[in-house]
Amino acid sequence: MTVADLPKIELHLHHEGAAPPAFIRQLAHEKKMDLSGIFRADGSYDFRDFTHFLSVYEAASEVLTGPEEFRRLTLAILEESAANGVVYTESFISPDFCGGGDLHAWKDYLAAIQDAAGEAEAKFGITLRGVVTCVRHFGAETAKKAAQCAADTAGDWVVGFGMGGNEGMFSQGDFAWSFDCAREAGLRLTTHAGEFGGPESVRDAVRNLGVERIGHGVRAIEDADLVHELVDRGTVLEVCPGSNVVLGLYPNFSAHPIARLRDAGVAVTVSTDDPPFFHTTMRREYEMLSKAFGWDADDFAALNATALAAAFCDDATRERVQ
Q: Is residue 64 within 8 Å of 97, Cβ to Cβ?
A: yes
Q: Is 58 a catalytic site residue? A: no
Q: Which of 4, 9, 17, 275 binds ligand ADE (CB under 6 A)?
A: 17
- The alpha carbons of the chain give a radius of gyration, in whole angstroms, of 18
Q: Residue 162: name the closest of 278, 174, 207, 175 by CA.
A: 175
Compute the 3-state secondary structure of the chain and give helix, strand, coil in percent, each to the nearest 5. Answer: 55, 15, 30
The minimum distance between CB 164 and ligand ADE, in angstroms, equals 3
95 binds ligand ADE (CB under 6 A): no
3 versus 164: smaller Cβ distance to ligand ADE? 164
244 versus 317: smaller Cβ distance to ligand ADE? 244
The minimum distance between CB 216 and Zn ion, in angstroms, equals 7
- Choices 40-48, 83-91, 214-222, 255-263; region in contact with Zn ion by CB under 5 A: 214-222
**How many whole angstroms separate alpha carbon 101 and alpha carbon 146?**
6
Residue 208-247 contact track with ligand ADE, rule CB under 6 A, x = bound: -----------------------------------x----
Q: Which residue's CB atom is positioned nearest to ligand ADE? A: 164
End-to-end C-alpha distance for the chain, whole angstroms: 18
192 binds ligand ADE (CB under 6 A): yes
Q: Which of 164, 199, 217, 276 binds ligand ADE (CB under 6 A)?
A: 164
Q: Residue 111: name the closest of 160, 64, 68, 60 by CA.
A: 68
Q: Which of 10, 167, 273, 285 binds Zn ion (CB under 5 A)?
A: 273
**How many whole angstroms separate alpha carbon 267 and alpha carbon 302?**
10
167 binds Zn ion (CB under 5 A): no
Amino acid at 238: E
Amino acid at 122: A
Q: Which of 109, 274, 300, 307 binds ligand ADE (CB under 6 A)?
A: 274
**How many whole angstroms separate alpha carbon 231 and alpha carbon 8?**
23
Give me the half-sphere count of Cα atoms (radius 13 Å) on the Cβ side of residue 176. Answer: 9
Phi and psi angles of residue 281, each rounded to the nearest 5 degrees, phi first: -145, 170
Instruction: Point out the residues that are catalytic.
Output: 195
Which residue ranges make up the site for Zn ion (CB under 5 A)?
A: 215, 273
